[in-house]
Amino acid sequence: MKRTTNRRLYKSAISICLLITISNLAFAQSEETSIRASVDKLFDGMRSGDSSLVRSAFTSQAILTSVSINEKDSVVISNSKADGFVAAVGKPHTEKWDERISNVKISVDGPMATVWAPYKFFRGETFSHCGVNVFTMIKTKTGWKINAITDTRRKANCP
C-alpha cells in the first residue's frame, strides 16, 4: 500500500512540474510574440510613412543611439530623442524606408526585455546600410514599448 501511495505522489509531483514548465514556456513565448509585434510595428510604420504608428511603438521618453566608425577609424556616437525620428518618418519622402531584420534574439526579465536584431536598410529597392539594432523594451500598461534603440551602421560586411 505504501509503495502505491509513493508512486502516486511521485507521478503527481512529476505532472505538476511538467505543467508548470509548460505554462512558463507558453508565457515566455507569448511575451516574446508581443515584444516582436511591437518591434514589427515600428518597421511597418517606417515602410508606410505612418508617424502615428511609429510613435505608438515608443515610450514617451525613448532615445536613439547610433554607433559608427568614421574615416579615421574612430568610434562616433550620436544620440537623439525618438521624436525627431518619428517626425522624419511622417515627412513625405519619395522612397519607402524598408528595414529588414533577421536572426532576432529576445531576452525577457519581468517588465524589461532586449531585442538583438541584425538588419539591412533599403531606400526603395536600393541597399543603404546594415548593422545591428539593440532594442530596450519596457512593458507598459498598454503593452511592450521601445524605450531605446542602439544601432550600428556600416555599408560593408553585412550578414
Q: What is the pLDDT of residues 66-103, one digit of tens each?
A: 999 988 989 999 999 999 999 999 999 999 999 999 99
Angstrom distance (rounded) from CA 42 to CA 64: 13
- Give the start-end residues of each E strand in the chain: 58-69, 75-81, 97-101, 105-109, 112-123, 126-140, 143-152
Greater confidence (73 vs 115) lies with 115
